[in-house]
Amino acid sequence: MKCSDYIYLDQAATSFPKPPSVLAAVRRALYEAGGNPGRSAHRLSLAAAEGIYTCREKVAAFFDAPREEGVVFTQNATYALNMAIFSFAKEGGHILISDMEHNAVLRPVCHLAKKGIISYEIYPTDKDTAKEVEKRIKKETCLVIANHASNICGRILPVAKIGALCQKKGIPFLVDASQSAGHLPISLSKMGISVLCAPAHKGLYGIQGAGFALFDKSYPLPPFILGGSGAFSLSEEMPSEYPEHFEAGTLPTPAVFALAAGIGELEKAGISAIHDHILSLERGLREKLMNIGGVRLLLPREMGNGILSFTAEGVSPAILGGRLDEEGFGVRSGLHCAPLAHKALGTEKTGTVRVSLGLSNTKAECDAFARSLCRILKEAGKR
């Protein structure tokens, strides 16, 4: 089956297909800016450094951050989240995380807790989330973390309210924007976000191999990894200036160039138009799924972020995902690297089938998916 004949509904895992401008940016990085940025003064190195700086400017502007120096490039969102968590964690500190967190947050927090470095609590997100955060804050609380949009059900957390609370209390606020960057408007300045972490390859339409942590200011934090930074080479310490303080080693230049191009596509389309398109598709598909017998849709009354998860009576998510692939639909099935969310939603034993939509998807694709799902379940019921 050709990719052109395949209906891709797994945009929460990685966006596909990539815009032509993104592919062109990768080629440009490899053929016209193939030097190592910040490591030499020849034209190829300077071209790479210029492209990376342009991307810093784009990331900072797109997320309404006060300065481009706060953009720290990493290889993915998981690395960025680990870097932020380990850096902000304090001996004897207390961290708050939501019940929608991905393993990229849960595992490092649990690791720190098992080492006896911090304690942590989980706040629920099915009620007044900001109030649930507030009543769990202690004098030892050193970090509050929120998954902006769940990768399982699309539940959107009120990050602006949580951010305002954290600013009032003087507590750093970390937001995982892996499923919201590019789909929802995000402003560091207006939402009180201390550090925003996101991958390049999902809603920002870049390629795999890059992510970032976007800091609202320079915090006096310990470096996460040490090594070459292209500056202050005679010093035995990492530079204290951002972003060099956290960027050790060669950056993923082609992926950073691609991220800049992806943000350019989002700027042309407009974040509001993208959000409206995705929610329109979600709304229509949600209604169709609710009318298919035997399908249990998670959060059926809650508008999400282009993400729909469901289970089907008598058919495991794993088997159903395989059958849908045979029919020409790419979805994710099983457990989705977020055990806290599965537990909160009651799907920790079997997982779900997840459909996730993006800018490239169409109503016709969603309609075709609903028809195939209905046929597959009818056939399963006759066996």
Same structural domain, 156 and 70: yes
Nearest to 308 by CA among 287, 277, 337: 287
Same structural domain, 180 and 114: yes
Same structural domain, 199 and 293: no
d(CA 36, CA 48): 7
Range of the domain at 100: 20-269
Please identify which residue in the block is written with the tokens 């062109």.
Answer: 24
Give this prediction's pTM.
0.95
Same structural domain, 319 and 284: yes
Residue 105: the pLDDT is 98
d(CA 204, CA 259): 7
- The secondary element (H helix, E strand) that includes residue 369 is helix 363-382
3-state secondary structure of 38: coil
Q: Given 250, 269, 288, which residue is the final one in a domain?
A: 269
3-state secondary structure of 162: helix
Please identify which residue in the block is written with the tokens 């995902």.
Answer: 321
Same structural domain, 9 and 26: no
Q: Do residues 294 and 314 make contact, with C-beta atoms less than 8 angstroms apart?
A: yes
Same structural domain, 54 and 182: yes
Same structural domain, 219 and 276: no
Q: What is the pLDDT along the chain (383 residues), one digit of tens a residue?
A: 456 689 999 999 999 999 999 999 999 999 999 999 988 889 999 999 999 999 999 999 999 999 999 999 999 999 999 999 999 999 999 999 999 999 999 999 999 999 999 999 999 999 899 999 999 999 999 999 999 999 999 899 999 999 999 999 999 999 999 999 999 999 999 999 999 999 999 999 999 999 999 999 999 999 999 888 777 777 888 889 999 999 999 999 999 999 999 999 999 999 999 999 999 999 999 999 999 999 999 987 777 789 999 999 989 999 999 999 999 999 999 999 899 999 988 999 989 999 999 999 999 999 999 999 999 999 887 54
The tokens for 266 are: 């989002």
Same structural domain, 249 and 283: no
* Domain harbouring 302, CATH code: 3.90.1150.10
Q: Given 269, 300, 332, which residue is the final one in a domain?
A: 269
Contact residues for 240 (Cβ-Cβ < 8 A; gap 6+): none
* Domain harbouring 116, CATH code: 3.40.640.10
Same structural domain, 109 and 167: yes
Same structural domain, 265 and 279: no
Domains in the chain: how many in total? 2
Residue 224: the pLDDT is 92
DSSP string, 2-40: -GGGSEE-BTTT---SPPHHHHHHHHHHHHHS-S-TTT-
Same structural domain, 142 and 199: yes
Q: Given 211, 242, 269, which residue is the final one in a domain?
A: 269
Same structural domain, 214 and 247: yes
